[in-house]
Amino acid sequence: MKKNIFKSRRFKHGTLATVVTAGFLVAVILVNLIVTMLLDRFPISIDMTPTGAMKLSEQSIDYVKKINQDVTIFVLAEEKYFASQGQYFVQTQEILKRYTQYNSRIKVKYVDLDKNPDFTAKYEGMQLTEGDILVDGVNRDKRFSVGELFNTDTDTTTGYTTITSSKAEQVVTSALMYVTDDSPTTVGILTGHSEQDMTALESLLNSNNYDTESIRLLTQTPGEHIDTLVLAAPTSDYSDEEIEKLDKFLYNDGKFGKNLIYMAGINQPKLPKLEAFLEQDWGVQVGTGYIVETDSSRTVFSPRYILQNYVNDNFSKDLANPNLEVMVPDSRPLTAVYEEAEGRRTTTVMLSTNSSAVVTPENVPEDWDPNTGEKAARNTAILSTRTTVVDNEEKASNVMVFGSVSMFADGFINFSSFNNSAYTVNMFNILNNKEDNVQITPVALGGQQLTLTEDKVQILSITFYAVIPLVVLAIGVIVWLRRRHA
């Protein structure tokens, strides 16, 4: 009888080996293709950084998903060159990719200005340079330099600057909010009386969807578009005319809805007219001297740098990390003259020390001992509110007084160990009735990261798409040949 070749041992083993090998190769290739497409389109990769620096916060995700217009984020550099600048730049690239994964109407494009010199013509007046990032929206555009993506520290001895943390998500989400917002909020920074520098605060506000502009009350009147004024520890008193302008701004023709943020400083002289305006019109007295904490567990660096208690949760209840404390350095003591007056004026203590704090004498002697002072809880932030009813709707103007202007300085407002940054943004959002209350704090990478440049990606691609399949194929052929001759 003729032997059936299809039932032979050699055919069965050889055919099985071939089928298994071919099937395995096809499976490997398909899995690689599918995984690559999924990773490009959806945010399903695993963030292995200890601080979660490679993913978007839930607040950003929620906002990004609601964007219903086309937005293009242009990175003015070659993609390969941008990534080669270091781990924080790679983190920025990863963050940018996440936005496109959560909303298909957001695109990211890399533009080499040397190869595309005509690109800047469309954005005349923005002074675009290599490395800038431009967010192009339907309503408006926003540009920021690559340096604005990071917090840095400069060694005063060597002059060498290092990146300490990333603000990429904070800056980009804010830019997306700005270009998709029909009416962004504007904050006026008052000048003309040798006020403290507010560059750090302005940068924080700009990074959180606020416009800022300087206003000199001696010669200018705040426009209708100004929602909030900031007065940072002036060192000369206001005139009657300037006080009247502040009053008219807050009254707003009876419509209210305006805010004044006043920050006191320990180096201010007496300001009779301005301090009388705060005390008599708004019920907040700014005291002399400064607060010293006798409980060392409530201080950082110095007895004058004091961790605060959230007395009222108006500005703290929505904080991303409400357990993180605000640090207030060099604060003058504040007193609420009344809790309620005329039925429509209230004062609310927002921040205070423990009951172990004392206040220095006005002209503190060098040998003064804090333990000899009267210990009590000291107020460092008080909100005063005046309300009215307009068209059956309650409207309010607010004066927020802080005893410390230093808490808004760069060294404190950008310090990730304190809640100063988030608390400040939350305060501005609530006072200005901003519905999209997004708080994003800077993140440090905090360890060695897997940095995948374009060259490394190509090597990995060749390995998984060609080398591994070829090795498997070779093994399969060897197994088939051995079994064929067995």
The whole-number pLDDT of residue 424 equals 94
Q: How far is CA 87 from each of CA 96, 176, 346, rounded to the nearest angstrom?
A: 14, 24, 50
Residues 427 and 466 in one domain: no
Among 155, 182, 209, the domain boundary falls at: 182
Can you tell me the mean pLDDT for 136-144? 88
For residues 450 and 203, give the distance between their C-alpha atoms in angstroms, rounded to a whole number: 30
Residues 374 and 242 in one domain: yes
Q: How confident is the model at residue 2 (pLDDT cuts 50, 70, 90)?
A: low
Residues 93 and 208 in one domain: no
Residues 286 and 345 in one domain: yes
The whole-number pLDDT of residue 158 equals 81
Residues 417 and 472 in one domain: no
Residues 292 and 390 in one domain: yes
**DSSP-assigned states of every residue in 179-222:** HT-SS-EEEEEEESS-PPP-HHHHHHHHTTTEEEEEEETTT---
Q: How confident is the model at residue 166 (pLDDT cuts 50, 70, 90)?
A: confident
For residues 311 and 309, give the distance between their C-alpha atoms in angstroms, rounded to a whole number: 6
The whole-number pLDDT of residue 16 equals 53
Residues 246 and 290 in one domain: yes
Residues 366 and 414 in one domain: yes
* 278 within a domain of the structure (yes/no): yes
CB 167 within 8 A of CB 148: yes
Among 182, 206, 236, the domain boundary falls at: 182
Give me the amino acid identity at 364: V
Q: Which of 185-189, 371-375, 472-476 holds the top average pLDDT?
A: 185-189
For residues 388 and 383, give the distance between their C-alpha atoms in angstroms, rounded to a whole number: 17
For residues 35 and 45, give the distance between their C-alpha atoms in angstroms, rounded to a whole number: 10
Q: What is the pLDDT of residues 360-411, one digit of tens each?
A: 887 777 778 888 888 999 999 999 999 988 778 888 999 999 999 999 998 8
Residues 134 and 231 in one domain: no
* 50 within a domain of the structure (yes/no): no
* 448 within a domain of the structure (yes/no): no
Residues 215 and 87 in one domain: no
Residues 197 and 330 in one domain: yes
* 95 within a domain of the structure (yes/no): yes
Q: Higher-confidence residue: 160 or 18? A: 160
The whole-number pLDDT of residue 47 equals 44
Residues 129 and 23 in one domain: no
Q: How far is CA 98 from each of CA 54, 60, 102, rounded to the nearest angstrom?
A: 9, 10, 6
* 450 within a domain of the structure (yes/no): no
Alpha helix (H) ranges present in 304-408? none
The whole-number pLDDT of residue 450 equals 42
Can you tell me the mean pLDDT for 163-167? 81
Q: Does the pLDDT value for residue 469 go beyond 80?
A: no
- Report how many domains make up the chain: 3
* 444 within a domain of the structure (yes/no): no
Lowest mean pLDDT among 91-100, 219-228, 412-421: 412-421
Question: For the purposes of burial, counting CB atoms within 10 Å of the CB of 32, is it exposed (0-12), middle (13-18) or buried (19 or more)?
Answer: middle
Q: Is the dihedral of CA 288, 294, 298, 304 positive or negative?
A: positive
| Main-chain dihedrals φ then ψ at residue 346, nearest 5 degrees | -135, 150
CATH value at residue 214: 3.40.50.880
Per this entry, what is the length of the chain? 486
Prediction pTM value: 0.70
* 272 within a domain of the structure (yes/no): yes
Range of the domain at 409: 184-431
The whole-number pLDDT of residue 44 equals 45
Q: How far is CA 294 from each of CA 164, 363, 372, 377, 379, rounded to the nearest angstrom?
A: 32, 19, 10, 11, 15
The whole-number pLDDT of residue 163 equals 83
CATH value at residue 76: 3.40.30.10
For residues 89 and 78, give the distance between their C-alpha atoms in angstroms, rounded to a whole number: 12
For residues 231 and 400, give the distance between their C-alpha atoms in angstroms, rounded to a whole number: 10
Among 158, 182, 206, the domain boundary falls at: 182
Picking from 201, 166, 173, the residue whose alpha carbon sits closest to that of residue 91 is 166
* 214 within a domain of the structure (yes/no): yes
Whose tokens are 């339907």? That residue is 138
